Amino acid sequence: MLMDNPDFRYWVADIDGRRRYRVTGSLGDAVYQSITAYSSAGSGGLDANAQARIDSDSMTLGTDGGFVVTLSAEPPDDGTDWLVLPEGANTLWVRQFHAASETTVPEPPDPQATDPETFGKPGSSGSSGAPAGQGWCRIEPIDETPVPPAIDVARFNRRLRRLGSGMSMLPAVWRASTKADRAEPNTIRHWTAMTGGAAFTEPGIRYLRGSWLLSDDEALVIDGILPPCRYWNAVLYSRWLNSLDYRHRPVSMSGVGTRDRSSTARQRPVAAPDVSPQTGPGDRYRIVLAAQDPRIDTAHWLDTEGRPCGLFVFRFLQPETEPLLPTVEVHKIDRLRDRHVHFGVSGHVEPEGPSTQRGRI
């Protein structure tokens, strides 16, 4: 998976738009969930488009977040939530958004112990024994499927061509995707190519994207204003479009809330001390990207792992306004640690002059 998000949980399945499916699960401590059906010709997902979706705002949830959604062309007769499945849909994504995901993912409950007549409906227990606070999901076909032959030659050829097409496109994807980042490091821009559910993305998200090019004693200070939105998130990536080591390092952070409710920013790993300030719509955020913790009380630190170059992406779910571009400046880490450092009226560190670019990502 390219551009994965450590603070999301994903369930992905190949589907057939002519058939019926049931998605069961529990939100647990997720603050938001979406179920999206995409159509794609199989060219590495670059041509994927969202065709149908449903989210936790419009789903019927049990007392502990349990849910049942039927995917089909015709409405179900069992009273469960319905996602109209277009005939051309061939991939399904379920996303759960977390303020800070646990490092362990629970096994879903035994399907034999789940009552399909009551699961996910108001007043039901939902998780049927799953650990409290932890979400899960299962995607299953409703109709009985015939046993396929040992090898379906036509199907095998299609899948093999699809795999080959996707693999062969990766070098071009990496090269094209990072072209702007390599040309203008230590900057940030609106990433409009990913809006509307393109390339298996979440349709309701607006993206900002940038890159860093730093020496070991430098930091990139990102200072911006949080727009009114449902959820926001920042993640560091390598030039190969995969997230950094979120299991052991703080390489992502997220804030949850609504346009009318304040949110709390959280960093990974969960076990790390949480010194994040309260943030709400219209509040400022300050993030420092560096190889070492600058230990600044007024900023969040995200760990670049000592990589001289890499990418960062901001996600804003259901923003009321287009997210404003933050200021992005390079500074010496020692200067940031100085207790007498001067912060300008706008909230960012006063620049000490242009930085020198030492190479390309």
Higher pLDDT, 44 or 215: 215
Domain that holds residue 201: 178-337
The structure tokens listed for 220 are: 């990139």
Give pTM, 2 decimals.
0.75
Give the pLDDT of residue 110. Answer: 52
- Give the residue with greater pLDDT, 148 vs 293: 293
Higher pLDDT, 179 or 185: 185
CATH classification at residue 22: 2.60.120
pLDDT value of residue 275: 32
Q: Read off the pLDDT band of 47 (50, 70, 90).
A: low
Nearest CA-CA partner of 257 in 235, 237, 285: 285
> Is the residue at 351 inside a domain?
no
Residue 134 sits in the same domain as residue 18: yes
pLDDT of amino acid 259: 44
Q: State pLDDT tens for residues 128-143.
A: 444 556 789 999 999 9
DSSP of 36-101: EEEE--SSTTTT-EEEEEEETTTS---TTSEEEEEEESS--SS--EEEE--TT--EEEEEEE-SS-
Q: What is the mean pLDDT of residues 125-130?
A: 44
Of 146, 326, 133, 294, nearest in space to 226 by CA: 326
What is the token pair recorded at 241? 């479009």
Q: Per-residue pLDDT for 314 more than 60?
A: yes
Give the CA angle between residues 315, 43, 252 to the nearest 5°. 20
Find tokens 């490091």 and name the residue.
185
Residue 144 pLDDT:
87
Please say if the pLDDT value at position 237 is more than 60: yes
pLDDT tens per residue across span 277-297: 344 545 889 999 999 999 888
> What's the CATH code of the domain at 221?
2.60.40
Q: Are 208 and 328 within one domain? A: yes
Same domain as 322, residue 188: yes
Total of domains in the chain: 2
Separation of CA 253 from chain center: 11
Assess whether 284 and 225 both reside in one domain: yes
Do 129 and 198 lie in one domain? The reply is no
Provide the edge-to-edge strand list for the sheet that holds 284-290: 300-303, 284-290, 218-225, 327-332
In a domain, residue 321? The reply is yes
Residue 169 is assigned to a structural domain of this protein? no
